Amino acid sequence: MGPLLVCLVICAIVIAATWVASLLTREYSWVDRIWSVVPVVYVWVFAVASGFDARLVLMAALVTAWGIRLTYNFARKGGYRAGGEDYRWAVLRERMSPTAYQLFNLFFISIYQNALILLFCLPAFTVFEAGGSPLGIWDLVLTAVFVAFLVGESVADQQQWVFHRWKAAERAAGRTPRPGFLTTGLFRVSRHPNFFFEQAQWWVFYGFAVAATAVWLHWTIAGAVLLTLLFIGSTVFTESISRVKYPDYDEYRARTSPIVPWFPRSRAAAREERTA
């Protein structure tokens, strides 16, 4: 059985398991709970099947580091505890009929998202198909950039963690935390820096397929493209909730880049644009 078929079988099992778990528990974050684990398995399947090709082992090691970091961050936020469902699913359930939501749960949450996880790991398949070739300068560059993005996401998540702990402490003391959302640190130059770094790592991961083949375009770029589209949709949905919760969120939106870090506008310029 080839490594791609092995990964497809694993993906089918995970789809069934996460869907059944959601029905049994009435929680819909089971794909979130395996998001940082299954990619590690997929990429190591290709690395082992290649006889531990140096490039694939490097890719697997980078994805393992990514998975450890993301698992830790998800765990400390309570994502693995009972009731640790993503708050956005509850909001979405209020906007959809029960039947429509269950169809969404099956086809989007369980099937599509699990298929997407496999897709963004498949540059490893391109590298596997290319056969072994010596590591080169581009592999070193890609590794350095991947690690830089990994550090960036770690910093963004830590800043968010500290902020939410402060918010919880303010509420416990009977005070209303202001501001209600994070606007400092990396969140001064991007409303969602963690989203940016997460996507960027998988674009870099695709870069290894280019390094292995000296060909820029492979079908396995589809995973990175679809992941970016998912994050765009997630950003729109998340911000629709924030705009309802926080009246001053629109001013923050007007002066701060949505995803890609960039110089913020002045408050005056942002206010001018909003009133124009």
In sequence order, which ranges of the chain are alpha helices (DSSP H)?
A: 3-25, 30-34, 38-49, 54-76, 87-95, 98-104, 113-121, 123-130, 137-172, 193-213, 222-245, 249-255, 267-275
Say if residues 89 and 28 touch (Cβ distance below 8 Å).
yes
HSE of 246 in the Cβ direction (CA atoms, 13 Å)? 19
Per-residue pLDDT of the chain (276 residues; tens, 9 = 90+): 799 999 999 999 999 999 999 999 999 999 999 999 999 999 999 999 999 999 999 999 999 999 999 999 999 999 999 888 888 899 999 999 999 999 999 999 999 999 999 999 999 999 999 988 899 999 999 999 999 999 999 999 999 999 999 999 999 999 989 889 999 999 999 999 999 999 999 999 999 999 999 999 999 999 999 999 999 999 999 999 999 999 999 999 999 999 999 999 876 555 655 555
CA proximity to 232, closest of 209, 201, 260: 260
CA distance 64 to 37: 8
Give the pLDDT score at 158.
98
CA distance 160 to 206: 28
Say if residues 40 and 61 touch (Cβ distance below 8 Å).
no
